[in-house]
Structure 1
């Protein structure tokens, strides 16, 4: 963390927790912080293309209002004056929710999604929209509307997807916080690819509500209904450069909201009962793919740090439950996408069309070309059983430690080069796809750097046990000094 003598033009290097505390103490101004971040954006974004639709005057005006609130002695939120990026698939008042699609890029959103409202209420100041793939459905971040986002560690490797712009911007120092969303690794994988921290909360903890979406038809606008997997598996969550900043942002974003189909009426607070540290079970593989040596090394190092800190760590030879959950993801997601595939084919770019073709081909190897309705219904029924079994296993006193992916960050466009390589990615991403099916909280945290790329590990906890997951992530993080681009 930067010291309290940080020069104004270097404030972009500071953690969100430090910035918020210093703005509150009037040691620095929100305008100084925003100017520093805008300067860093101007310096790095022309190459990385992480943020789009950056409006400096609007951001500085919002920062000035934040400073006036401090001067007036108003009650301040925990993120007061801290810059945050918002993803292009998330409603932000006055900005198009383009999702990287030209046909959706012309109508500004009339209101904020609930997660954006929560960040604003906590005092955060939005600056820039983070890039994603078309329709936010790739583990890469490129689209015909805004172009390709690069990984600041290695331009030939993916920054991850779909929240790749958010992760790339964080790693480069453009913002200290970012909002992302995750239905198949879209927070956790980009964070790992870019050497930052990404948390997928328990389904229902952070509201996924957004203003109604409409499609234009010859008979007028028709309200769009999202498929079951979006309601049951998609989450909004925080990304940052430190676990502490993710913890702070999560608290700000966790506002009870019963408009969200799975929203909960009250927040779960950590108990102060002095209980022992949870046990940690290490799951390196599920029998489908071998890990890259650097991935194994990162998991082993994370386990060693937890052991040294007093956690009881055990290695599991296999965990069929996670293997089955990952396989179910490919069934349920694919069949829901099948319904909107014609729209994606009509409005999307060549990359998303090819990526979806390869996705369907990979899923067909597991579930046949067109699974029957009975198979789909039984998949949802099996999902409920797996959730119960994993909750019984984890409870409030056990965590799982897994890889993020069996490989380091993929080479750019690996999912559209040829179908065989796309199937490899499908298999390698089991730690990312198993978790959304089950709805449990999971965080990815950087562990080490191998051959110029950050390699992370994933922690999974019982439902609404985010505090346990983040506690363990901080232990791993403490041994990862130097996993930043400017250290």
Structure 2
């Protein structure tokens, strides 16, 4: 490797810069990983963002990466780049604890498909990021690994369920992070911590994993995932820049037909006509009034897009998103009901309270839904997907808040039914998108009262490039901020 007169630590560079520097032999993967491990040592004690780090294992991966560079082997797009994986995602040799004590001593025998794609792309799997028990909260606290803090403000959530991923990334402990999302669990933590979060189209990134087992009096039984998890949950990247997010998304996009909703090939990027891409600005759906900082960020992002040549238009109503958010509280809630015995047996007090509030809020909307109501909800969902695709096509986007509020105070979901109802109403941008399966990106816009505030961009199915282009236009016209600066 060539000597470097750099004074800035390697952990501060973007994933794109690190990959290029390692490929160009400006720095070794070992140096990069050691720099990030030093940052973990410095920051993770306070933030508890990474639940598990094995330095020897990470350095061994880095040494193999350096040998590949020296041998002139073909290098993947993330070669030598430190990445975190989430504690609810299988990584061979590591427990898929999901923040639950009872699962802490069961190492996975093989990688989930999305982790395998990261390995194949050359990433160094540096640590396991924290999440709430069962990954079912917008906070990242559990009795096994403790409370993850937001590096911007410890009194506010780093988001959930990929809160550890976002916190570690924002603090410089990793260059990229893997997360998953069924109700904002990538996009919300990214926004809370001032980084970029990508929820891809369902099927783009393989979400196949080894079977889940649970103990019964008759021994372990294979658990079948409920329909909403199969049809709505996605794996995706978190990154500090849009360029890094694009790099990671491309690396993780590998068709795998073991995923029930996987696609055999990713559609190629279409040629666009010369008309400006339309952006419909949706400030709300009538469920919650926006905090002034949220409205200001939305106005700022719309102005940046307009300056970049987009045709920006405010719309008064978004009935498709409103109905989708309402369906989320029906379909996901009813599917979660099947998990309650496991949560009751193995969960901590916080997840039990959070789910109690979740069911109570859903009941104010749906009462005690019948099987007929549930079936009709799924049928309606298909109609909404068709109508939104007709609206967006390949040349329109929707710009929304991330949430009607800035990042919630820590453990806000433990504060009773009224506060829980406020949160659910505020989170409509996070809950509406998974129901429909469309791609969405959250990108930071500003810092207000010490906390990041971002926006969300939604595009047509498999139009991630169009969404990322717009996110890049927003990002490039603002000042990039980090919690260490």
Question: TM-score per shorter chain, which class?
Answer: over 0.9
Question: Shift in Å at residue 219 of structure 1?
Answer: 2.4
CA RMSD of aligned residues (A): 1.2
Q: 1:408 aligns with which of 406, 409, 415?
A: 406
2:54 is matched with: 55
TM-superposition CA deviations, 1:413-435 (whole Å, max 9, x none): 00011111011001000000000
Structure 1 position 143 matched with structure 2 position 142: yes
2:234 is matched with: 235
1:473 is matched with: 471
1-side partners of 2:188 and 2:237: how far apart?
A: 13
1-side partners of 2:5 and 2:237: how far apart?
A: 25
1:418 is matched with: 416
Normalising by structure 1, report the TM-score.
0.98
What aligned pairs does 1:180-329 form with structure 2 within 5 A after superposition? 180-273=179-272, 275-329=274-328
2-side partners of 1:476 and 1:35: how far apart?
A: 33
2:82 is matched with: 83
2-side partners of 1:25 and 1:311: how far apart?
A: 36
2-side partners of 1:248 and 1:153: how far apart?
A: 26
**Residue correspondences, number:** 483
2-side partners of 1:273 and 1:408: how far apart?
A: 35
2-side partners of 1:453 and 1:352: how far apart?
A: 25
Partner secondary structure for residue 67 of structure 2: helix
Structure 1 position 452 matched with structure 2 position 450: yes
Q: 2:428 aligns with which of 430, 454, 457?
A: 430
Greater Cα shift, 159-168 or 266-275: 266-275
**Contact 2:190/2:197, CA 8 A, preserved across alignment:** yes
2-side partners of 1:23 and 1:267: how far apart?
A: 28
2-side partners of 1:270 and 1:98: how far apart?
A: 38
Partner secondary structure for residue 53 of structure 1: strand
2-side partners of 1:31 and 1:275: how far apart?
A: 46
2-side partners of 1:422 and 1:208: how far apart?
A: 30
2:169 is matched with: 170
**Contact 1:447/1:483, CA 8 A, preserved across alignment:** no
1:71 is matched with: 70
**Contact 1:9/1:35, CA 8 A, preserved across alignment:** no
1-side partners of 2:215 and 2:155: how far apart?
A: 39
TM-superposition CA deviations, 1:388-435 (whole Å, max 9, x none): 000000000100000000000000000011111011001000000000
Question: Shift in Å at residue 220 of structure 1?
Answer: 2.6
1-side partners of 2:119 and 2:133: how far apart?
A: 26
2-side partners of 1:133 and 1:176: how far apart?
A: 22
Question: Shift in Å at residue 288 of structure 1?
Answer: 1.4
Question: Shift in Å at residue 6 of structure 1?
Answer: 7.1
2-side partners of 1:15 and 1:133: how far apart?
A: 27
TM-superposition CA deviations, 1:231-258 (whole Å, max 9, x none): 1100000000000000000000000100
Normalising by structure 2, report the TM-score.
0.98
2-side partners of 1:197 and 1:107: how far apart?
A: 32
TM-superposition CA deviations, 1:201-228 (whole Å, max 9, x none): 0000001100111122232321110000
What aligned pairs does 1:309-458 form with structure 2 within 5 A after superposition? 309-368=308-367, 370-458=368-456
**Contact 2:4/2:26, CA 8 A, preserved across alignment:** no
Question: Shift in Å at residue 8 of structure 1?
Answer: 7.2
2-side partners of 1:54 and 1:480: how far apart?
A: 34
TM-superposition CA deviations, 1:256-275 (whole Å, max 9, x none): 10000000001122134554
Aligned in 2, Cα 1:458/1:6: closer, same or farther, shift over 3 Å? Answer: farther
Aligned in 2, Cα 1:386/1:273: closer, same or farther, shift over 3 Å? Answer: closer
Partner secondary structure for residue 178 of structure 2: strand
**Contact 2:95/2:103, CA 8 A, preserved across alignment:** yes
User: Structure 1: which 4+ aligned runs deviate by more than 3 Å?
Assistant: 4-9, 272-277
Question: Shift in Å at residue 345 of structure 1?
Answer: 1.1
